[in-house]
Amino acid sequence: MSPSSDPTTTTATSATTTPKHETAVVLPANLHARPAGQLARSAAGFTSAIQLEYADRTVNPTGVLAVMGLGATAGSTVTVRAEGHDAEQAVSALAQILAAAE
């Protein structure tokens, strides 16, 4: 059997996987305008798709009003998710902002 007619030879298809990262942060303070603005500015600098989740609600953190609309209060847990090439950096940066909220 010639190599070109070998039925086990297949064309390689690249199945690219997009990195996904997630972390949960317990808020030290209410999620108000200042940290919401910091989150929005930071999130806008990443190419990954980023989401914040709290109390069965999910928002895109690039919008200050959307972040404030979550209504997350001190002691509550907010989950940060990102999917894309810089997902790990995005999750880390946003988690730091949430953890330092005053």
Active site residues: 32
Residues sharing a CB contact under 8 Å with residue 80, sequence separation 6 or more, in sequence order: 22, 23, 24, 25, 50, 51, 52, 61, 90, 91, 94, 95, 98
For 43, the token pair is 């999130």
